[in-house]
C-alpha cells in the first residue's frame, strides 16, 4: 500500500521518490530494510521484498567485479567516493567478522579480527599516543572524511590520501624519536632562520634562549614563544631540559663555547666558520669524542638538494674532467658598528663570505694543495675585500673573490672538459636550479636550515653520521689560515 499525504483534495498518494528519500533519512539500524546499491532486480520487486524485511537473494545480486567491495557492502550502506575507490560509510555490526575467503583487506595474521574504525577527536584534531602530549595536528577536511570510512588501504589512488602518520625516526621503522630540545646561545639575527627551520622540521624544538642581558633574553623569548630565558650563557649550559646548543656568537667565541657546551653534555651546532685556527677545531672535536657528543659546523647550504645535485653531477663525469672553479660572494655592509668589522672578534670578508667560496670549491674538488690570497684592509682593520686562487689535485684551479664593499653578487661555476655548470644561488638556494651549458635543471626546493636541523637531530639520536664532521671542519680552517698567511706574506702557501 502506498503512503498518502493529506492535502486540499483529501488523501493523495505520496510520490515514490519522496518515500525513498524519507527512508534514507531513517537511521540504518532503526529500519529492518537493508538496501543494496548493487541490487539490480526490478524496482517494484525490490521494494516489495524490502517492505517485508527480506534481504536480496544471492541469485538476484549483480556479480561484483571486486569481491572485497561486495564484502564491505554486506556490513552497511555503501557507495563509491569521488576517488573511485570502494568505501563504507556504515559501522560494522558488533560481533560480525569478515569472511576471509571473500575479503582480504587486512594482514594475514589479522583476518579473523573485526574491523575497527579509526578514532577521531572533535574538529579533526588527531592526537597520536606515541607523540608528545602537546602535539596536535590539523588535517584537511577531505582527509578527515576519508578517515571516517573503512577503505581498501592497498588501493594506489587512496594510498596517497591516507591518514598522515608521523615520520619514522629513531628506534626503527615506525618508531618516533623524541624532539631534540635546542637552546640558543645568544639572540643573534641568524636565530630567526633556525627558529623557522625548527618549526618546519618536526625534529627539533627550541626550548630556551640565553643572553647576557636578562631584559633582552626575556623579550626575545616572549617574541618567539620560547619557554625559558636565561640571563647568562652558563645558566643555559646547566639547563637539564636542553639537549643541544646552537652557537651563533661572534667568530672568536665559537670554539670556546663549543667546548664548554660539550663538557656540559650538550650536542653542539656551531655557526661557520668554527675557527680560523685548525688546531682549535681539532681540540673541539677531541672534546666531542671524549664526551660522546655531536659537534657540527653549520654550513646550511651543504644540506640542500642543490648542493647534492652539483656534487653528483661533477663526480659522475657530467661535465667531463673538472678543470676550473669560479666562486663569488659579496654585498655592501653599511653598518660601521657591525661585529663582522671588528678584528678582535675575527671579523672580515674572508671569514664571513669567503668561507662559503672555500667550502663550495672543496665540495667538488677536495682539499687544496696550494693557495694564494690578496686582501684589501678597511679602516676598522679587517679585510673588506679578498681574492684568492687555490690549486687542487688533478691540476684543478679555483678562483674566488668576496667583499663587504661591492654590490650583491653570488655564484659558483664548475668548468669541465666537456661542459660547464653554473649555480646562480649556491649559498642562499633561492630558486634552486643548475645551468648545464645554459640549459636549466630544476632542483626540488626545501628549507636548508630545516634540512640541517634534521640531519643534526638524527646524528644526535645516533641514527646517522653528521653530514659535516671533523675532517670537513678542520679542512675548512686550514684553508682559511693558509689564505690569511698568504695575504700577509704576499706569497703562495702550501698545505
The Cβ of residue 458 has, within 10 Å, a number of other Cβ atoms equal to: 20
Is the bond leading into 174 cis (omega within 30 degrees of zero)?
A: no
Residue 460 or residue 134, greater confidence = 460
Residue 209, exposed/middle/buried by CB under 10 A (0-12, 13-18, 19+)?
Answer: buried
- For residue 374, the surrounding DSSP H or E stretch is strand 370-377
Report the pLDDT value the prediction gives residue 490, as an integer from 0 to 100: 96
Degrees to nearest 5, angle at CA 253 with 247 and 254: 45
266 has catalytic annotation: no
In the chain, the N- to C-terminal Cα span, in Å, equals 102
pLDDT attached to residue 178: 84
81: nearest Cα among 156, 2, 9, 146 = 146
Look at residue 489 and tell me whether its pLDDT is greater than 50.
Answer: yes
Given a contact cutoff of 8 angstroms between Cβ atoms, the answer to whether 271 and 257 are in contact is no
Mean pLDDT to the nearest integer, 409-416: 97
**Catalytic residue (one of 272, 362, 461, 470):** 272
Chain segment 135-179, per-residue pLDDT in tens? 333 333 333 333 333 333 333 322 323 333 333 344 444 456 789
Q: For residue 400, report the phi and psi dihedrals to the nearest 5 degrees.
A: -150, 160
CA 230 to chain centre: 29
The owner of cell 637552546 is 183
Listed ranges 67-76, 122-131, 409-418; the one with the highest mean pLDDT: 409-418
Distance separating alpha carbons of residues 312 and 347, to the nearest angstrom:
33
> Quick check: 177 and 169 in contact, CB under 8 A?
yes
**pLDDT at site 127:** 32
Residue 416 has pLDDT above 70, yes or no: yes
The mean predicted confidence, pLDDT, of the chain is: 78
Structural domains in the chain plus CATH codes: 1-30 (no CATH), 32-63 (no CATH), 73-90+140-164 (no CATH), 180-300 (3.40.50.720), 302-494 (3.30.360.10)
Please report the DSSP string for 416-470 in residue order: ESS-EEEESSTTT-SS-EEEETTEEEE-----HHHHHHHHHHHHHTTSS--SS-H
Is 433 in contact with 424 (CB distance < 8 Å)? yes
Cell of 467: 653530514
Distance between CA atoms of residues 464 and 460, nearest Å: 8
Q: What are the tens digits of pLDDT across the range 337-396?
A: 999 999 999 999 999 999 999 999 999 999 999 999 999 999 999 999 999 999 999 999
Residue 329 · residue 353 · CB < 8 Å: yes
Cell of 315: 663526480
Cell of 389: 686562487
pLDDT band at 50 (very low <50, low <70, confident <90, very high): low
Spatial distance between the Cα atoms of 289 and 152, rounded to a whole number of angstroms: 50
- How many C-beta atoms surround the C-beta of residue 19 within 10 A? 14
User: How, if at all, do strands 396-403 and 322-332 pair?
Assistant: parallel
| Residue 137, C-beta contacts closer than 8 angstroms, at least 6 positions apart | 125, 126, 164
Over 60: is that where the pLDDT of 471 sits? yes
pLDDT attached to residue 44? 59
Query: What CA–CA distance (Å, rounded) separates 490 from 389?
Result: 13
C-alpha cell at 385: 675585500
Classify residue 304 as exposed, middle or buried by CB count within 10 Å of its CB (0-12, 13-18, 19+).
buried
Residue 121 is predicted with a pLDDT of: 34
Amino acid at each position: 500500500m502506498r503512503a498518502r499525504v493529506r492535502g486540499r483534495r483529501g488523501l493523495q498518494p505520496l510520490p515514490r521518490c519522496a518515500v525513498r528519500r524519507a527512508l534514507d533519512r531513517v537511521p540504518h539500524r532503526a529500519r529492518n530494510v537493508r538496501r543494496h546499491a548493487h541490487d539490480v532486480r526490478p524496482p517494484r520487486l525490490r521494494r516489495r521484498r524490502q517492505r517485508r524485511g527480506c534481504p536480496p537473494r544471492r541469485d538476484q545480486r549483480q556479480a561484483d567485479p571486486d569481491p572485497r567491495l561486495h564484502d564491505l557492502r554486506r556490513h552497511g550502506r555503501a557507495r563509491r567516493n569521488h576517488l573511485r575507490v570502494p568505501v563504507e560509510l556504515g559501522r560494522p555490526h558488533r560481533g560480525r567478522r569478515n569472511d576471509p575467503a571473500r575479503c582480504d583487506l587486512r594482514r594475514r595474521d589479522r583476518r579473523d579480527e573485526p574491523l575497527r574504525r579509526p578514532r577521531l577527536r572533535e574538529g579533526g584534531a588527531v592526537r597520536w599516543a606515541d607523540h608528545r602530549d602537546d602535539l596536535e595536528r590539523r588535517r584537511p577536511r577531505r582527509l578527515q572524511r576519508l578517515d571516517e570510512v573503512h577503505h581498501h588501504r592497498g588501493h594506489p589512488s587512496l594510498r596517497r590520501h591516507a591518514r598522515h602518520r608521523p615520520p619514522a625516526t629513531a628506534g626503527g621503522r615506525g618508531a618516533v624519536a623524541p624532539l631534540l630540545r635546542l637552546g640558543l646561545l645568544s639572540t643573534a639575527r641568524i636565530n630567526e632562520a633556525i627558529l623557522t627551520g625548527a618549526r618546519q622540521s618536526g625534529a627539533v624544538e627550541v626550548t630556551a634562549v640565553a643572553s647576557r642581558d636578562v631584559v633582552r633574553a626575556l623579550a626575545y623569548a616572549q617574541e618567539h614563544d620560547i619557554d625559558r630565558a636565561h640571563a647568562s650563557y652558563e645558566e643555559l649550559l646547566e639547563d637539564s631540559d636542553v639537549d643541544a646548543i646552537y652557537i651563533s656568537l661572534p667568530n672568536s667565541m665559537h670554539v670556546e663555547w663549543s667546548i664548554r657546551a660539550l663538557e656540559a653534555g650538550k650536542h653542539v651546532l656551531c655557526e661557520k666558520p668554527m675557527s680560523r685556527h685548525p688546531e682549535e677545531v681539532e681540540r673541539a672535536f677531541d672534546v666531542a669524542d671524549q664526551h660522546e657528543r655531536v659537534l657540527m659546523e653549520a654550513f646550511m647550504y651543504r644540506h640542500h638538494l642543490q648542493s647534492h645535485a652539483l656534487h653528483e653531477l661533477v663526480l659522475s663525469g657530467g661535465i667531463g674532467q673538472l678543470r676550473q672553479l669560479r666562486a663569488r660572494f659579496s654585498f655592501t655592509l653599511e653598518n660601521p658598528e657591525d661585529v663582522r668589522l671588528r678584528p678582535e672578534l675575527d671579523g672580515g670578508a674572508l671569514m664571513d663570505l669567503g668561507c662559503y667560496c672555500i667550502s663550495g670549491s672543496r665540495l667538488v674538488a677536495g682539499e687544496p694543495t696550494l693557495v694564494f690570497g690578496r686582501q684589501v684592509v678597511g679602516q676598522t682593520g679587517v679585510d673588506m675585500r679578498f681574492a684568492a686562487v687555490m690549486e687542487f689535485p688533478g691540476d684543478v684551479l679555483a678562483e674566488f673573490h668576496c667583499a663587504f664593499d661591492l654590490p650583491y653578487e653570488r655564484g659558483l661555476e664548475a668548468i669541465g672538459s666537456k661542459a660547464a655548470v653554473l649555480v646562480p644561488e649556491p649559498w642562499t638556494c633561492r630558486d634552486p636550479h643548475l645551468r648545464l651549458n645554459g640549459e636549466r635543471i630544476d632542483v626540488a626546493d626545501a628549507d636548508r636550515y630545516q634540512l640541517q636541523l634534521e640531519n643534526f637531530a638524527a646524528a644526535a639520536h645516533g641514527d646517522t653520521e653528521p653530514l659535516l664532521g671533523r675532517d670537513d671542519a678542520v679542512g675548512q680552517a686550514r684553508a682559511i689560515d693558509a689564505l690569511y698567511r698568504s695575504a700577509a706574506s704576499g706569497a703562495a702557501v702550501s698545505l
